[in-house]
Amino acid sequence: MSTRIAQRALCLDDFETMSRRHLPRPIFGYVAGATERNAALADSARAFTEYGFVPRVLRDVSQRSTKATIFNREWAAPFGIAPMGLSALAAYRGDIVLTEGAKAANIPMILSGSSLIRMEEVIAANPDTWFQAYLPGDATRVEALVDRVAAAGFGTLLLTVDTAVLPNRENNVRNGFSTPLRPSLRLALDGITHPMWSINTFLKTWRLHGMPHFENSFAERGAPILASNVLRDFTARDHLNWEHLALIRRRWPGWLIVKGVMHPEDAARAAAEGADGVIVSNHGGRQLDGTSAPLRVLPEIKAAAPNITVMLDGGIRRGTDVMKALALGADFVFVGRPMLHAAAVAGREGVDRAISLLLGELERNMALLGVNSLAELTPECLIRVGGP
């Protein structure tokens, strides 16, 4: 059944359409929505439409390759799965099926600090999983979580730096979503009217694994996902500063990435503090609404931090989007929402299908552009066709 559902998707956007029907309104709204007017979310996608390709012809492209190497590791493609909180609420064992799909395809998957499955279980399913942390400005708690991540066996740690305070996600309020979820008649009705999700995701999780909790926000277990009077701990993220990054660098032995960088000076500072890479990201439009599309600031950030790995997430839905990001300076990109929509509607088969669709587009479109390698994707492949 899941295989048949997955095969209906002809592109990544199709999974969002199916997910809208499958998920209860609060859950779908959380996954698909962003902040305030969703301006940052919309601009992330719009920026890609402002560049057109200039194909070259009569080139032998029979030897083209999508392989990419970052952090001394070769991957099958220059894209991976971005960190997404509460994945296991949208899809049964969501973090597990995402990382298993990534392992099978030989691409990286990043586990969110807001995940509902213990990091130790996830890395057992895929030892190449990366971990993304939301850290407070508290040295003791920072050290405890970093030590837990290292003990679990992760080799790559991301520090997300664009969440100083909670944004105004009014769409969550309108849709009846909160973290933790609060029992209500409206929530119950949403579950009843979406029985496949209720039976195969929420109730199945509860029956086989107990009530989901925030498992990886700190070294200790966090709040349950469903509670009437429990508040999730967002302790003192507004205290987080460059000194904490330096502390992490001293304590963390593996690859260290700073996620949420949008200014060239911040990228240069991250490199100076010992970061191995940055992810240019506006948090999927979920933080400061009106923030620029990551693609718009990418070239300046690459120029400011030429000696570290520069990656990007936000707005990528097609193989052509991947190519444009690489041509403008990205060494690698990450895709979030479409992968979770795919997992929600078709589990592991959905994830496999989503990865296959994006990889297939990339491979075909490289041929149509006239390039054999990712290194050939340069600004000369593009022309501005719209925007400022």
Q: Which residues are catalytic?
A: 283
Contact 260, 161 (CB under 8 A): yes
The conformation of residue 223, written as its DSSP 8-state character, comes to -
Task: For residues 13 and 24, give the distance between their C-alpha atoms in angstroms, rounded to a whole number.
Answer: 19
Q: Which of 94, 139, 141, 143 is nearest to 114 (CA)?
A: 94
The conformation of residue 90, written as its DSSP 8-state character, comes to H
In the chain the first and final C-alpha atoms are separated, in Å, by 47
**Residue 235: other Cβ atoms inside 10 A:** 14
The conformation of residue 293, written as its DSSP 8-state character, comes to P
Could you give the 3-state DSSP secondary structure of residue 366?
A: helix
Burial-class residue 171 by CB neighbours within 10 Å (0-12, 13-18, 19+): middle
Q: Which of 304, 324, 142, 145 is nearest to 219 (CA)?
A: 145
Read off φ and ψ for residue 307, nearest 5 degrees: -100, 5
Tell me the pairing of strands 255-261 and 277-280. parallel
Token pair in block for residue 128: 């190449």
Token pair in block for residue 35: 């902040």
Read off φ and ψ for residue 328, nearest 5 degrees: -95, 5
